Amino acid sequence: MPADSQIHVEVIRSAVAAEETAKVCRRPGATLGYWAIRGLGSPLRLLLHYLQVDFVDRRYVQGDYDAEVPYSRDAWLSEKHKLGLDFPNLPYWIENGNDERGRERRVRLTETLPIMRYLCRRYGERAERTDAAKAFRLGVDDAQVDMLANVSMDVRHAMSRCFYSSQNEQQAVHAYQEGIVPKLVLLESYCRRHQVAVRDEQAPPRPFLAGTQVSYVDLFLAETLDQLQACIPNALDAFPHLSQLRSHVWNLERVQQFLASELYIASPANNRVAFLGSSSQLPPPSKLPSLQLPRETVDGAHQAVAQSYRIGEG
């Protein structure tokens, strides 16, 4: 981030008084609200860092199993319906200020992808260095990028079902096989057909999903895949193109800066109520920090990928 960029992290651990919530609604500048985890918040934090946007990162903490109210969400619920949001949810984006003509600007948004698209439209051009990148604005006007973003969100939803709905290792492995693998296969096959992130000196360089320019979906998907790997370390073993795409994004200078900043949360990926990848102090087997897939499960994913390659080449 530039030296003059201003990021402030607020950690909310308990119910919030109404007057404090009112201040959040009125204060100048921008506020991102989400849980104090990676989840859907980390792709937004990454994008905001990439775009060099000043904002307050408001993080809500979920209680643990041994709290007076187990897994309490009071920190968030106490102000959920008091922030002026049309569809109250996390993440949210609140922005108060003036536009280029001095007119009042008041933005209240929820849902991850609409927030990402708004940020790219508003800040994408100023953050880039080349004319081509300025015109591209991280792909916000590209229908192909939007399609890939929605498919990538399907991966995120499948991950959430695996992490939060599973109650034991067997259920988590099944959720990976039946929910996550089919979504990853679709993206892996797309990358192969379009030569995305290939290791071939004879092929034209296409390091990112939309070509040579990084898009908001590259940031979203790379962070999502990294969370998947943090929770299931061998989850991407059968997906070479997606693994390479994640590496391409992770090696970008601004992404490296993000990973070294206070905005980046290495762990936990999920809230304490989750079976997999949370910071809950409830010991295994009730909660697992991570899960290693059986060899036969990884082999099955390899077979699904190979079949998709054959179909794509047929």
Domain-located, residue 270: yes
Q: Tell me whether residue 1 is in a domain.
A: no
Domain of 37, in residue numbers: 7-313
Give the global pTM. Answer: 0.94
Is the CA virtual torsion 167, 170, 174, 180 positive or negative?
A: positive
Q: Is the pLDDT of residue 142 over 60?
A: yes
* The two structure tokens encoding residue 64: 């643990």
Percent with pLDDT over 90 in the chain: 80
Average the pLDDT over 115-137 and give the result. 89
Residue 177 has pLDDT above 80, yes or no: yes
Structural domain contains residue 122:
yes
Write down the pLDDT at residue 199.
Answer: 66
For residue 150, is it within any domain? yes
Of 42-46, 102-106, 178-182, give the lowest mean pLDDT range: 102-106
| Domain presence at residue 232 | yes
Q: Is the pLDDT of residue 259 over 70?
A: yes
Quick one: average pLDDT of 125-135? 82
202 pLDDT above the threshold of 70: no
How many folded domains does the chain comprise? 1
Average pLDDT (290-301) is 98
In this prediction, residue 1 carries a pLDDT of 46
Name the residue type at position 301.
A
Residue 2 lies in a domain: no
Q: Give the residue with greater pLDDT, 156 vs 202.
A: 156
Q: What CATH number is associated with residue 127?
A: 1.20.1050.130
Residue 85 forms part of a structural domain: yes
Tokens representing 82? 């008091």
